[in-house]
Structure 1
Amino acid sequence: MMYTIKQASTLLGIPAVTIRAWETRYGAIKPVRTEGGYRLFTDKNMEDLRFLKVQTDEKDMTISQAVRLLKEQQDLREQLLDNKPETDAYPGKQAHQDMIDRLYDSLSNFRTEQAKTMVELGFSMYGYDMMIYHILFSVMIKVGTEWEEGRASVAQEHFITQFITQRCLSFFHLFPVDERVPRMLALCPAGEHHQAGLLLFSLFLRKKGADVLYLGPDTPEDGIQKILQEQHIRIICLSLTDPKLMDQTFAFIDRLRASNLELEVVLGGQGFQDVPEPYAAWVLPSDNQDEWENWFQDRVLRF
């Protein structure tokens, strides 16, 4: 659809003189010109003008700063489109490695707005599953590895982890709760700081309609019994990457189940190695969603 400058001004609440200035002085947009020289604005022009208005009115940017940010977004979109696979089927991580590397670079250099733009473009191009399971979590795992090997600072690891965690948790409010599915509690036990697997599994459960109380990493035992009872928790999900914490985690589970005999337990993460019974029956593969689906159908829906 095409809009005259008067229509654009009215719809966007931007004076026509300002629109002209943004075009001619800052090169922010390139409207179509009729044979008579009149400006006609495309839907993309309108989207860009709306973006500039938000940056200048709500975020206190100067127009030159806003235009620079707009140009960065446009360049980024073109770069991502150039690297987008021809098929929507996931052919392996390498097909999206450029996206992972660019996002990691932006976040490790604390370029928040650029990272936000990249994530939004990624969701629009690749969709929810691809961005969550194959890109965002690859970035989270990468910074954890880089930190452990001394190539990323504590500040970088915390910043990137928090950025991705907050973006993922925002989806918790979008998926409807199925009242037929029992309430669940998700946590990493005390001493376990890596939450990527737990967050991934919790998102899977939320998509299935589960009301998941997400406590995150390094959760102390104090108060958990009260939560289980007062919130009517039927299933507890624990994630562990450090096998040295396995024995104390089992002792923690035993204490919880002593007062909650019908509590269902599910365990995940590389920390659960050579697990004895009865705990072995509760371990799910960390990266196999088919197994997750089978568990959900067989164990959760029976409640």
Structure 2
Amino acid sequence: MSVYSIKDLEHLSGIKAHTIRIWEQRYDLFSPQRTATNIRFYNEQDLKLILNIASLKNHGHKISKIVAMPQNLLEEEVKRVGFGSKSYEDQISALTLAMIDLDEEVFNFTLDQCTEKLGFEQAMMNIIYPFMRKIGILWLTNSINPAQEHFISHLVRQKLIAATDLAEVNKNGPLCLLFLPEGELHELGLLFANYLLRAKGARTIFFGQSVPLDALEEVYHKLNPNYVLTAMTTAPEPSEVQTFVKRLGNKFKNSTVYITGSKVIGQSLKLSDNVRVMNQFEDLAELTRGVKEYSS
């Protein structure tokens, strides 16, 4: 079973740690265990409770009324107020609960409802991406069971591939190659970029995880793409990032190269004239504007 710090509860629920401590003392909400150094930690049931409380609080329920509800009524009320809700936070909480319970049906239902209301692109930008960012932080701090993270990543991956398959291919659009460097396995962001580019009128070739740069260079000269896009979150090693970025600029000098990920965002890197850093998903708008101008 996964365990969470009080900061994890704050991070996932949006309720300040100080407030959680007050509620814990005033209403006897939790019975947290403690580490050998006397630091509180919480279990999955505690996380589910604080997420449910946050959801009802966001809909105007008073904390004194919430804590008086029996568990079954609390969960029913959360479902009632959450069904049809337009709040992004409500949807993110629902996805988090589905992750905790490994409930594929609830996850798919929630995401399908979001997609129906917002469209796939906006559902990804406003719900799935913030959700995965929260989960990613928990994964990096070992607060979440890796099986839960893989479970959710697999479901999101399926949705992205299905949506990309439905996007009409523009045979006259600019060509974009997408790949992850050797050792890099986190592909969801790049899969979303692949979907978005294709939906906006680009032709895309997705090479996936852990691609050797020399192997990619061989096909690059055959394809002559307009854009190359890659992401670096766990690879290459910090001492090798600058060299790798320089190689990208040199090997793909006839294309505009977009790079993103924690290895490059906010770093002091020397970039070739043809290399751009994307700081967030919203920066894909710059690339897709270029696609639209190229296609028109």
TM-score (norm 2): 0.62
- Distance in 1 of aligned mates of 2:78 and 2:272: 51
Q: Partner letter of residue 131 of structure 2? A: V
Larger radius of gyration: 1
Deviations 1:132-181 (A, max 9, x none): 11111222222221111112122222221121122112111222222232
Root-mean-square deviation (CA, aligned residues, Å) is 3.2
Query: Aligned partners of 2:251, 2:119: CA distance in 1, in Å?
Result: 43
Partner of 1:227: 219
1:130 is aligned to 122
Q: Is the 8 A contact 2:173 2:294 kept in 1?
A: no
Please state how far the C-alpha of 1:100 moved relative to its aligned partner.
1.0
Per-residue CA shift, 1:210-231, capped at 9, x if unaligned?
Answer: 1222233433335312332344
Q: Which residue of structure 2 lines up, in the alignment, with residue 31 of structure 1? A: none
**Matched residue SS, 1:233:** coil
Which residue matches 1:10? none
Q: Which whole-Å CA distance do the structure 1 matches of 2:146 and 2:273 have between them?
A: 34
Verify the 8 A CA contact 2:170 2:202 in the aligned structure 1: yes
Deviation of 1:298 after TM superposition, in Å, equals 4.6
Match of 1:278?
272
Give the share of equivalent positions with the same residue, in percent.
Answer: 20
Q: TM-score normalized by structure 1? A: 0.60
Contact 2:249/2:275, CA 8 A, preserved across alignment: no
> Does the residue aligned with 2:173 lie in a helix, a strand or coil?
coil
Choose from 76, 96, 108 the match for 1:104: 96
Q: How far apart, CA to CA, are the structure 2 residues paired with 1:234 and 1:280?
A: 11
Aligned residue runs from structure 1 range 156-195, under 5 A? 156-195=148-187
Does the CA-based 8 Å contact 1:77-1:121 persist in structure 2?
no
Deviation per CA, 1:67-110, whole angstroms, max 9, x where unpaired?
Answer: xxxxxxx999855335x23xxxxxxxxx3212112112213322
- For the residue of structure 1 that corresponds to 2:83, the secondary structure is helix
Q: Secondary structure at the match of 1:192?
A: coil
Cα pair distance change 1:294/1:280, threshold 3 Å: same
1:209 counterpart residue number = 201
Q: How does 1:26-175 map to 2 (within 5 A)?
A: 78-82=80-84, 84-85=85-86, 95-175=87-167
For the 8 Å contact 1:188–1:195, the answer to whether it is kept is: yes
Q: Which amino acid is the alignment partner of residue 117 of structure 2? A: M
Residue 99 of structure 1 aligns with an amino acid whose one-letter code is Q
- Determine the C-alpha separation between the residues in 1 that align with 2:107 and 2:212: 32
Conserved? CA contact 1:181–1:209, under 8 Å: yes
AA aligned opposite 1:276: K
Distance 1:77-1:179 versus aligned 2 partners, 3 A rule: farther
The structure showing larger relative contact order (alpha-carbon pairs under 8 Å, at least 6 residues apart) is 2
Distance 2:275 2:216 in 1: 23
Q: In structure 2, what is the Cα distance between the partners aligned to 1:75 and 1:216?
A: 42
Indicate yes or no: 2:236 matched with 1:236.
no
Q: How does 1:243-282 map to 2 (within 5 A)?
A: 245=237, 248-252=240-244, 254-255=246-247, 258=250, 260-272=252-264, 273-278=267-272, 281-282=275-276
Structure 1: any 5+ residue segments left out of the alignment? 1-73, 86-94
Structure 2: tracts of 5 or more residues without a match: 1-75
Q: CA 1:246 to 1:299, structure 2 compared with 1: closer, same or farther past 3 Å?
A: farther
Could you tell me which residue of structure 1 aligns to residue 8 of structure 2? Answer: none
Aligned length: 218
Check the 8 A contact 1:240/1:246 in 2, yes or no: no
Q: Could you tell me how far 1:252 is from its partner in structure 2?
A: 4.2
Q: Residues 184 and 213 of structure 1 are in contact (CA less than 8 Å); yes or no, is this contact kept in structure 2? A: yes
**Shift in Å, 1:284:** 2.5
